[in-house]
Structure 1
Amino acid sequence: MAVKEFALPDLGEGLTESEIVEWHVAVGDLVTLNQPIAEVETAKAIVSLPSPVAGTIFALHAEPGSTVQVGTRIVTFELEGDAPAGGSDSNGAASVGDVSGAADDAAKGAGSEAAPAAEAAPERNAVLVGYGPAVESGKRPTRKPRKGSGAPAETELAAAEPAAETATEPVAVSQADARTKTTPPVRKLAADRGVDLTQVTGTGPEGVITRDDVLSAAETSAAGTQADDETAAGASAPAGSGTRTGVLASSRPRETRTPIKSVRKATAAAMVASAFTAPHVTEFLTIDVTRTVELVAKLKAKGTAASVLAVVAKALCIGVARNPSLNSRWDANANEIVEFGYINLGIAVATPRGLMVPNLKDADAMTMAELTEAIGDLAHNARASKATPASLNGGTISITNVGVFGIDAGTPILNPGEAAILAMGAVRKMPWEHHGEVALRDVMTLSLSFDHRLVDGEQGARFLTDVGSILNDPGTVLTMV
């Protein structure tokens, strides 16, 4: 028998690490080529990691919840073969190697075994960039080139270069680690409640630890702690001393510490870089959107997909066509301003993992019905941790809908690399001037933040006015296109 070590592949898109969310396999399990063996969480998405070989799981080298650097060994496979584990075959080729074997080749003077190409993609999530089954990328719609467009050609996701690691003796996973089989939400609940999963017996299928198991363990632990505290308090607390009581005091720890990683870490770095690199300017416009609300209601009554967000998205695309500086990028390395001839529209989505901004490729080529459906799919995938790295990169301008939280206006921070972001406020019934009289109308505030290096105040104001005019009277679009 021979063994093969597998290191975390290059994640692409500038990412250098990921967190092991969950192992789908255990030591001793038989796996097939491309079978999902783990879920890993990058700063952008949760993706499935398929097996590069067929064989038996010999050892797992990373625990769920741990952050692993690219090139670090994470699993060892036992393969069918004539060579003994850790030995060499008749040709002297090493039988133990990492994902690339580059370091071992230099040390042993032998070739390495390349991971076989994947044939079928797992259905649950996208695979890591540059590794596993190929993911078909959608083609852009046929478009007529715009005058003066300096848009660069679409960049293909390149195959990742393999990472090298010095081979070491495989270490088997302990039985305690094997008992912690559960799901990410349950693991988070355990962390919040201070429950040690290695001390919990799972009652789910195949011993999986469930939410009820964690809650039961938390209650047992809390009861024991409370009894100890009461005993200590009775022995040492002076008469008349106050104690913390109430639901909040008894159910929550005095403080909770959460490691900064994953989406929160990436979002923080991006926002700090954006805030201190691009000089932000924010302009506001409050408008009567009653006709837009009525239009959406009419379209829905006819069975056509429609939403106020989709109308705003369409109005934004028209506004960009009239004010192209809003759809540009400052390229400091090349000392150039890149103006895009297409719109990859970012939609800010609040997810359980934090803020994500996936984007719709060529949103300006979509009808309003197509925008409605695409925005819904985009948001669903982001919340379900199924957003692909491709959908999270390449945006040119963004929308954030703070109105869904009941907020009227704000000063949104630019998505790094973009010139503008438009925030939609809540639609409220308010007294408003209408045909010379005061009437109850649907009113919304738009907030536009832009990079003042790329967009002058006048250009930002014209863009915001164009978008506002369309929302105030959708028929106005006939005079703009």
Structure 2
Amino acid sequence: MTNASVREFKMPDVGEGLTEAEILKWYVQPGDTVTDGQVVCEVETAKAAVELPIPYDGVVRALHFPEGTTVDVGTSIIAVEVAGGAAPAQEEAPAAPAPAAEPERPAEQPAARQPVLVGYGVATSSTRRRPRKQAQDPAAQEAASAVQSELNGHGAAPAAPPAPVAPAAPASSAAPAQRPLAKPPVRKLAKDLGVDLATITPTGPDGVITRDDVHAAVAAAQAPQQVAPVNGPAAPAAPAPSAAPASYDSVRETRIPVKGVRKATAAAMVGSAFTAPHVTEFVTVDVTRTMKLVEELKQDKEFAGLRVNPLLLIAKALLVAIRRNPDINASWDEAAQEIVVKHYVNLGIAAATPRGLIVPNIKDAHAKTLPELAASLGELVSTAREGRTSPSAMQGGTVTITNVGVFGVDTGTPILNPGESAILAVGAIKLQPWVHKGKVKPRQVTTLALSFDHRLVDGELGSKVLADVAAVLEQPKRLITWA
């Protein structure tokens, strides 16, 4: 190809601040011709499966990673030969930070570039950051000189005297040391495990601390009589993490890597459970009239072609309850110490998919008519089952419904979706003996459970919302009078 150049397409940040994505499937192979906008692969992020289009015309020259590989955002994943000369400078320009942006970097690392975790602008540099060694006792100058000499290629440190410096790390007299490099998930892991990143010797590229480094530090701290008498450099030798697979029975056990949607869900649920004080209230309600209304709506011409089921009327009942009790539709802003009341409802619907639990939401559900709500609900469910839910569809939710009744479960105590103050669990609808008009009769009955954040929702408000939902389902005509 005359006057051609090779363009590197990098893994984009398809969500908000995502750091990695797994390549699920390649739709092209080396030698294939691609056009601008053509989907070349499908990737799974922590939020959803997304198809990636190529932004130019050309011929595929290389696929840098096989299917099933998790790739950091900003890493080149495919090379395409294009006509028309050199690639635009915009692919590399964002990676060059202004020299003045890091005035406090040590003199021995003037050219080191911090890896970009999101977006396209990852700098390609051969500079490797040496694991930090902090001189933190009165002999700091001598130790620093030894390290400087080693970095500049002038040989090793003079002698063994600086070795005892490592155990004195907690004294920390060298306060201006630069911030350890680690991705947000690794920082959170270290925080949860109580590990100070500044005490870890990084083994990742460019001096980045990895998950294995954090786990190794934890194992080293827990190993009795093993780490204490050994000098600092011996810490990575602690083999505790690798000891676990010794009991792994490959015939009767299966190990599944935690990643993608399941990984994000786990982190969100742990954060929610240990941040917001949950309270759950229950009510059992006769929904016989609601079930009759569902059957009537199925025959209504206005609902032709739409999915009509009990969940539709339960969603509408919750929206009515929120309109009557708007303070339930809020969130807690910890940083600003404020309660944020939302004057709109983005109604989340928890959906079980092969990739894990996701919670897409119906935007501005409060403003939709019942047929419009039915159409949105049907589209949301079908898209989730196909694994095509976009990251934007799972952002900005204000309140959620989880229908555990489809599994035959009576009810549960749901955990709040992060950033929301309430979640309604709907149990199985069953024919049960019920006192109706003074007589025991078989009626369609279900149990509802409402979990809420007790920091901003007290028992009175939570009870009113749950009672209103139950009242609408027991007497659906209230949809007309209350809506």
TM-score by length of 1: 0.66
User: 1:164 Cα shift?
Assistant: 2.1
| Aligned-partner Cα distance in 2 for 1:73–1:104 | 17
Aligned pairs for 1:242-253 (under 5 A) are 253=251
Conserved 8 A contact 1:70-1:163:
no
User: 1:12 Cα shift?
Assistant: 3.1
Judged with a 3 Å threshold, the aligned counterparts in structure 2 of structure 1 residues 463 and 106 are, in CA distance, closer, same or farther, namely closer
Partner of residue 206, structure 1:
none
Judged with a 3 Å threshold, the aligned counterparts in structure 2 of structure 1 residues 264 and 279 are, in CA distance, closer, same or farther, namely same
Partner of residue 57, structure 1:
60
Judged with a 3 Å threshold, the aligned counterparts in structure 2 of structure 1 residues 106 and 327 are, in CA distance, closer, same or farther, namely closer
| Aligned-partner Cα distance in 2 for 1:263–1:415 | 14
| Aligned-partner Cα distance in 2 for 1:460–1:261 | 35
Partner of residue 3, structure 1:
6
Judged with a 3 Å threshold, the aligned counterparts in structure 2 of structure 1 residues 434 and 106 are, in CA distance, closer, same or farther, namely closer
| Aligned-partner Cα distance in 2 for 1:34–1:322 | 47
Judged with a 3 Å threshold, the aligned counterparts in structure 2 of structure 1 residues 290 and 29 are, in CA distance, closer, same or farther, namely same
User: Does residue 126 of structure 2 align to residue 165 of structure 1?
Assistant: no
Conserved 8 A contact 2:74-2:119:
no
Conserved 8 A contact 1:329-1:419:
yes
Q: Tell me, what secondary structure is at the counterpart of 2:393?
A: coil
Conserved 8 A contact 2:345-2:363:
yes
Partner of residue 243, structure 1:
none
Partner of residue 269, structure 1:
267
User: 1:55 Cα shift?
Assistant: 1.2
| Aligned-partner Cα distance in 2 for 1:302–1:73 | 53
Partner of residue 281, structure 1:
279
Q: Tell me, what secondary structure is at the counterpart of 2:472?
A: helix
User: 1:383 Cα shift?
Assistant: 1.2
Q: Tell me, what secondary structure is at the counterpart of 2:21?
A: strand
Partner of residue 395, structure 1:
397
Q: Deviations over 1:278-329 (max 9, x none)?
A: 0000000001000000111111123434321111111101100111121100
Judged with a 3 Å threshold, the aligned counterparts in structure 2 of structure 1 residues 300 and 8 are, in CA distance, closer, same or farther, namely same
| Aligned-partner Cα distance in 1 for 2:480–2:388 | 38
User: 1:163 Cα shift?
Assistant: 1.8
| Aligned-partner Cα distance in 2 for 1:476–1:347 | 23
Partner of residue 369, structure 2:
367
User: 1:253 Cα shift?
Assistant: 3.6
Q: Deviations over 1:64-97 (max 9, x none)?
A: 1010111111111212246xxxxxxxxxxx6598
The one-letter code matched in structure 2 to 1:36 is V
Amino-acid identity (%): 54
- Give the paired residue count: 335
| Aligned-partner Cα distance in 2 for 1:165–1:72 | 10
Conserved 8 A contact 2:14-2:391:
no
Partner of residue 446, structure 1:
448
User: 1:161 Cα shift?
Assistant: 5.1
Judged with a 3 Å threshold, the aligned counterparts in structure 2 of structure 1 residues 319 and 54 are, in CA distance, closer, same or farther, namely same
Q: 2:254 aligns with which of 251, 256, 266?
A: 256
Q: Tell me, what secondary structure is at the counterpart of 1:467?
A: helix
Conserved 8 A contact 2:287-2:444:
yes
Q: 2:418 aligns with which of 410, 416, 419?
A: 416
| Aligned-partner Cα distance in 1 for 2:44–2:19 | 12
Conserved 8 A contact 1:4-1:98:
no
User: 1:162 Cα shift?
Assistant: 3.4
Q: Deviations over 1:42-74 (max 9, x none)?
A: 111111111122111121111110101111111
Q: Deviations over 1:376-432 (max 9, x none)?
A: 110110111111111110000000111100001100000000000001111100000
| Aligned-partner Cα distance in 2 for 1:105–1:451 | 42
Partner of residue 406, structure 1:
408
Aligned pairs for 1:71-86 (under 5 A) are 71-81=74-84
| Aligned-partner Cα distance in 2 for 1:163–1:56 | 23
Q: Deviations over 1:160-183 (max 9, x none)?
A: 853223179xxxxxxxxxxxxxxx
User: 1:365 Cα shift?
Assistant: 1.1
The one-letter code matched in structure 2 to 1:471 is L
Q: 1:426 aligns with which of 421, 425, 428?
A: 428
The one-letter code matched in structure 2 to 1:75 is I
Partner of residue 245, structure 1:
none
| Aligned-partner Cα distance in 1 for 2:317–2:358 | 23
Aligned pairs for 1:100-119 (under 5 A) are 100-103=92-95
| Aligned-partner Cα distance in 1 for 2:385–2:439 | 44
| Aligned-partner Cα distance in 2 for 1:410–1:48 | 35
Q: 1:386 aligns with which of 388, 391, 395?
A: 388
User: 1:254 Cα shift?
Assistant: 1.0
| Aligned-partner Cα distance in 1 for 2:316–2:365 | 8
Judged with a 3 Å threshold, the aligned counterparts in structure 2 of structure 1 residues 98 and 266 are, in CA distance, closer, same or farther, namely farther
Partner of residue 468, structure 1:
470
The one-letter code matched in structure 2 to 1:473 is Q
Q: What residue ranges of structure 1 are gaps of 5+ in the alignment?
A: 83-93, 108-159, 169-251
User: 1:36 Cα shift?
Assistant: 1.0
Q: 1:320 aligns with which of 310, 319, 322?
A: 322
Conserved 8 A contact 1:4-1:96:
no
Partner of residue 299, structure 1:
297
| Aligned-partner Cα distance in 1 for 2:337–2:291 | 44
Judged with a 3 Å threshold, the aligned counterparts in structure 2 of structure 1 residues 477 and 77 are, in CA distance, closer, same or farther, namely closer
Judged with a 3 Å threshold, the aligned counterparts in structure 2 of structure 1 residues 104 and 367 are, in CA distance, closer, same or farther, namely closer
Judged with a 3 Å threshold, the aligned counterparts in structure 2 of structure 1 residues 104 and 29 are, in CA distance, closer, same or farther, namely farther
Q: Which piece of structure 1 moves more, 5-14 or 39-48?
A: 5-14
Q: Deviations over 1:190-229 (max 9, x none)?
A: xxxxxxxxxxxxxxxxxxxxxxxxxxxxxxxxxxxxxxxx
| Aligned-partner Cα distance in 2 for 1:433–1:292 | 17
| Aligned-partner Cα distance in 2 for 1:348–1:62 | 33
Q: Tell me, what secondary structure is at the counterpart of 1:277?
A: coil
